[in-house]
Each structure stands twice: as C-alpha cells, then as structure tokens.
Structure 1
C-alpha cells in the first residue's frame, strides 16, 4: 500500500540546512495499523506529511497504492488526497461556521457527489461515531472528543483505503482518548490501513506495529507478538 525508498527531506533556511529525514526505507502493507512514535523534532510529522502527499521528499521515491507519487501533478495529487487518504489531525481542523453535517460532507462536495448522496453517507457515518443527534450543532458546541469523532467521520466519507492520524488524542482527556482509539480499532477491523503519529506509548499500544523515530532515522520497527525489531 505504502512503499518509501531512500526518502530524505532537507529544509533550507538561507544558508542553513536541516535534514529532517535521513535515507529512509519503509513499507506499510494493506490493512496494517501502524503507530509512529518519537519526540518532537524526530521527523515523524515530516514523514506523515510525505505519506499524506502534503509535502514532497528531497530525494527518493514514494509509491502509494501502485502509483509513483513523484510523477503526479498538483491536480492528480489533490485527487489522491481526496479519494485515497483520510486525514485526522490533533487540532480537528473543523470549520467553525459549519454544522457537524456540513463539516462531514465537505470532502464529498469537493468530489462532486450529489447533495442527497453525500448527506445520506454523512448521516450514516455520524451515527457510526455516535453523533447522529448532533448534526445541527457547530464545533464550539461540542467537546474535544466529539470534535474528533466529527473529524473521523469526515475522514471516512470517501471510503479512502488509508487513514492518517497525526496526534489524534493530543488534545483529549483520558476517557475521550480511549473512546477515540476504540473507534480507530473498529475502523481498522473493517479493513482500513491506519498510520498514526503519537508520542504517547499507551496510544501506540493500540497498533499492531510500532515504528520509533529519532533524529530522522528509524530506531526501531516492532510488530506485536513477533518479538522482532
């Protein structure tokens, strides 16, 4: 599903260069649930942005679901982001003036799906995440956990095969974090490939595979029950 070969990322600030990722090789199979761990500045968010086609590597190749990403133009990349990848962010990224229902239908509107179909799909997803009664509320009327449930419903609207989550529990209390991670486990059980960035070991425990980053390098890559790294 995801194959990175010799990926590097260098950020330039005038004469200064910062290497965020050193030559990196990584493969994520279809249906895996992978957690990427590391301290601030370790390179994990840079990697997530590259996987999500939000940033481009300085060198190397990236194959996503059989497509060579570096050969795609901006329109093609937008289509990939809309149809193949669902995004969940720490800060929720909901539109404050839109209702819960409108927030969830947004990706489908961009894809040109008729209103009736997108509303029907959004209502089904909001029921699935336990917010069927909140469709007319706005984000400022929701708790942090509820906002993240809206964000997850929005990420699932296009039936994307990959779900990327960047610190999805970072702004949540313990109870809400547990509920959100249980939801991720349900989504994974239905066949979605999940890549999740976190700095919390207890959150990483929900994944089947944990990759630990440090200074732009993979320090450890461990699958549950394998004892291998």
Structure 2
C-alpha cells in the first residue's frame, strides 16, 4: 500500500539546513494498523505529512497504492489526497459555527456529491460513530471525545482506503481516548489501513505494529507478540 525508499527531507533557512528525515525506508501493507512514536523533533510528523501528501520529500521515492507520488505537483497531490486519504487531527479542525451534520458533509461538497447523497452518507457515518442524535448540534455543544468522533466520521466520507491520525487522543481524557481507539479498531477491522502518530505508549499499544523514530531515522519497530526488530 505504502512504500518509502530512501526518503530524505531537508528544511532550509538561509544557509542553515535541518534534516528532518534521513534516508527512511518503510513499507506499510494494505489493512495494517501502524503507530508511529518518537519524541518532539524525531521526524514523525514530517513523515506523516509526506505519507499524507501534505508535503514532498527532498529526495527519495514514495509509492502510494501503486502510484508514484514523490514527483507530483500540488494539483495532482491534492487529487491523490482526496481519493486515498482521510485525516484526523488532535485539534479536531471542525467549523464551530456549523452543525455536526454540515461538518461531516463538507468533504463530499468539495467532492461534488449532490445534497441528498451527501446528507444520507453523513447521517450513516454519524450513526456509525454513535452520534446519530447529535446531528443538529454545534461542535461547541459536544465533549472532546464527541468532537473527535465527528472528525472521524468526516474522514470516512470519501471511502479513502487510508486513515491518518495525528495525536487523535492528545486533547482527550482517558475514557474518551479509549472510546476513540475502540472506534479506530472497528474501522480497521472493516479493512481500512490506519497510521497513527502518538507519544502515548498505551495508545500505540492498540496498533499491530509500532515504528519508533528518533533524529529523523527509523530506529526500530515492534509487532504484537514479537520482539523489537
């Protein structure tokens, strides 16, 4: 599903260069549930941005679902993002003045679905995440856990095969975090590939495979029931 070959990312500020990723080689199979861990500055967020087609590597090769995306321009990258990837963020990124229903409908509006189809799809997804009775509420009327579930529903609207989650439990209490992770596990069981960035070991423990990053490098990985590689 995802293949990274010698991926390097360098940020330049005048004469200064900061190497955020250093020759990363990584393969993620279709249907995997992977967690990425590392301290601040380890490169995990840069890696997520490249996997999510939000940024491009300085050098190296990136193949996503059989498509070489490392050399695409912004227009084509945007198309790949819309078709292949759903995003969930720590800060939810919901429109505070819009209803829950409208927030979930938004990606489908940009995707060109007609009003009847997008409303039907949004209602189905909100029911799936346990918020069927909250469709007319505003995000400010919901708890943090409920807002994150709205964000997850929104990420699923276009049936993307990959779900990227960047610190999705970072703003949640422990109970809400567990509820959100159970939802991710259910989505994964339906066949979606999930890649999760977190600094919390108990959250990473839900994944089948954990990748540990430091200084822009993949240091090691662990799989459930296996020793570190």
TM-score range, shorter chain: over 0.9
Q: 1:82 to 1:140 in 2, by over 3 A?
A: same
Q: Distance in 2 between matches of 1:93 and 1:176?
A: 18
2:175 is paired with a residue whose SS is: helix
1:76-128 residue CA offsets vs partner (Å, 9 max, x unmatched)? 21121112100000000111121101110111111101110011000000001
Structure 1 window deviating more from structure 2 (42-51 vs 70-79): it is: 70-79
1:88 is paired with a residue whose SS is: strand
1:189-216 residue CA offsets vs partner (Å, 9 max, x unmatched)? 0000000000000000000000001111
Q: Distance in 1 between matches of 2:198 and 2:106?
A: 26
Partner of 1:11: 11
| Alpha-carbon offset, residue 228 of structure 1 | 4.6
Partner of 2:66: 66
Q: Distance in 1 between matches of 2:103 and 2:81?
A: 17
| Alpha-carbon offset, residue 139 of structure 1 | 1.1
User: CA RMSD of the aligned region, Å?
Assistant: 0.8
| Alpha-carbon offset, residue 71 of structure 1 | 3.5
Partner of 1:196: 196
Q: Distance in 2 between matches of 1:24 and 1:107?
A: 31
Pair 1:149-2:149 in alignment: yes
1:115-170 residue CA offsets vs partner (Å, 9 max, x unmatched)? 10011000000001011111111111111101100000000001100000000000
1:71 is paired with a residue whose SS is: coil
Q: How many residues get paired?
A: 229
TM-score by length of 2: 0.98
1:107 is paired with a residue whose SS is: helix
Partner of 2:90: 90
Q: Distance in 1 between matches of 2:19 and 2:195?
A: 23
Runs of 5+ unmatched residues, structure 1: none
Q: Distance in 2 between matches of 1:57 and 1:71?
A: 9
Cα contact 2:144–2:171 (8 A) shared by 1:
yes
